[in-house]
Structures are given as structure tokens and as C-alpha cells.
């Protein structure tokens, strides 16, 4: 990974990442967190910040298809990898099946946990298209909903399964 040092001796790194299908080269300091790169530099504010300590899952993104908490991952560590944020779930104007199902099942209350919930659910359905209720609960157990809308969230994910 290429690095540049400016006149004041501050080092910046050239990070190559693919976000939602588009390749980017971004310039970040070593201490830039992935969540801040996405929100502040790429304007993808659908990724939320809650605890910022790895506990709540509101900052969940898919890193090479797997859900991770972007508040504990350095942007430089994502060099060469692919990221999906909530903005990349729907293509064009049409909502993804899971999003549609969240709407239909009133699985969104304040909506703060929703991007993370949908990405965790998306990753689950990609590897296991017909999960049991237990498997759905397990897959979203790292995503906390303060509105406690779990019943409808689980229902929404189950309804988006299979064909």
C-alpha cells in the first residue's frame, strides 16, 4: 500500500477499495476507522454509529460478504477488499426483497438499527437461503434494536427467505 508524507510529516495511505461495486482509491490516515471513511469521506451515511465499541451492530457493513462492525476496523485494513453498505443493497429504485419485507412487516420503528439488521440478514440469506427462526435470531444477535422490534424483524427476515 502506497503512503505519502506531507510537509508536516503526516503520513497518509492510498487505500484501494471496492464499495457497493465501485472501485475507489481514497487517502486516509492510519487512524481512520472504516465507518468514518464511509460516512465522512464517501458520504455513505446509511452506516450508523451507536456504541462505537463493537457491541451494537449499527455500523455493520459486509466486508467481502461477511458482516463486520466498521467501528472497530481500520480503513487501511480494508485495502484491496470489497465492502457492501446499506446503500448498495437496493439496485436502482427497486428495494431489495429483504427491505421490502421489513416495510411490509413493520420491522422498522426509529430505523437506527435497520441498516445493520438488513446487512446481517442479507449475509445470512446469501449462505443459507432457508434459515430457521433460530438461525435468523442467531444471525442478528450482534445487532441491537433499542426499539425492541425483534419479533417483527425476525418475521421480516423469515418472509424474505426462499422463493
Partner 1 sequence: MYLPDFDYQSPGSLKEACQILAAFGSRARVLAGGTDLMIKMKHGLLAPDVLVSLKNISQLAGIGYVQGRGVVIGARATHNDLVNSPVLQKKYLSVCEAAHHMANNQIRNVGTVGGNIVNAVPSADLPPILIALNAAVKLVGADGERELPLESFFTGPNRSVIGTDEILSEIVIPDQTSTGSTYMKFGLRRSGALAVVGVAVAVTVAGGVLKEAKIALGAVSPTPMRAVKAEELIRGRAVTDELLEEAGVCAAGECSPISDIRGSKEYRQDMVRVFTRRALRRAINEGHV
- Write the binding mask 59 to 88 for ligand FES: x where contact by CB under 6 A, - elsewhere: x---------x-x-----------------
Q: Rounded to an integer, what distance in angstroms lies between the CA atom of residue 125 and that of residue 143? A: 16
Smallest gap, in angstroms, from Cβ of residue 51 to ligand FAD? 9
- Write the binding mask 32 to 71 for ligand FAD: x where contact by CB under 6 A, - elsewhere: ----------------------xx----------------
Which residue of this chain has its Cβ atom nearest to ligand FAD in the complex? 54
- 37 CB-contact burial (10 Å; exposed 0-12 / middle 13-18 / buried 19+): buried
Cα dihedral 41→43→44→48 (10° resolution):
80
Question: Which among 162, 160, 161, 47 has a CA at the least distance from the CA of 114?
Answer: 47
Q: Quick check: 103 binds ligand FES (CB under 6 A)?
A: no
DSSP assignments along 62-116, one per residue: EETTEEEETTSSBGGGGTT-EEE-GGGTSBTTBPPHHHHHHHHTT--SS-SSHHH
Residues 6+ apart with CB under 8 A from 60: 47, 67, 68, 69, 70, 115, 116, 119, 120, 142, 143
User: Which one of 110, 127, 128, 130 is in contact with ligand FES (CB under 6 A)?
Assistant: 110
- Write the binding mask 17 to 56 for ligand FES: x where contact by CB under 6 A, - elsewhere: --------------------------------xxxx-xxx
Name residues contacting partner 1, limited to 16-35 (CB under 8 A): 29-31, 33
Name residues contacting ligand FES, limited to 126-155 (CB under 6 A): 145-147, 149
Provide the binding-site residues for partner 1, judged by CB under 8 A.
1, 11, 13, 29-31, 33, 36, 52-55, 57, 60, 63, 66-69, 71-74, 76-77, 120, 138-139, 141-142
Amino acid at each position: 500500500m502506497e503512503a505519502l508524507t506531507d510537509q508536516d510529516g503526516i503520513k497518509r495511505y492510498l487505500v484501494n477499495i471496492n464499495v457497493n461495486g465501485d472501485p475507489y482509491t481514497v487517502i486516509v490516515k492510519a487512524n481512520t476507522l472504516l465507518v468514518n471513511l464511509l460516512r465522512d469521506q464517501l458520504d455513505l451515511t446509511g452506516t450508523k454509529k451507536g456504541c462505537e465499541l463493537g457491541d451494537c451492530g449499527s455500523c455493520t457493513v459486509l466486508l467481502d460478504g461477511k458482516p463486520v462492525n466498521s467501528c472497530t476496523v481500520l480503513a487501511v485494513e480494508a485495502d484491496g477488499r470489497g465492502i457492501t453498505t446499506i446503500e448498495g443493497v437496493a439496485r436502482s429504485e427497486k428495494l431489495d426483497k429483504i427491505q421490502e419485507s421489513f416495510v411490509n412487516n413493520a420491522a422498522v420503528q426509529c430505523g437506527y438499527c435497520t441498516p445493520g439488521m438488513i446487512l446481517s440478514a442479507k449475509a445470512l440469506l446469501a449462505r443459507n437461503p432457508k434459515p430457521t427462526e433460530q438461525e435468523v435470531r442467531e444471525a442478528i444477535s450482534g445487532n441491537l434494536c433499542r426499539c425492541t422490534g425483534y419479533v417483527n424483524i425476525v418475521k421480516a427476515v423469515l418472509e424474505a427467505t426462499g422463493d
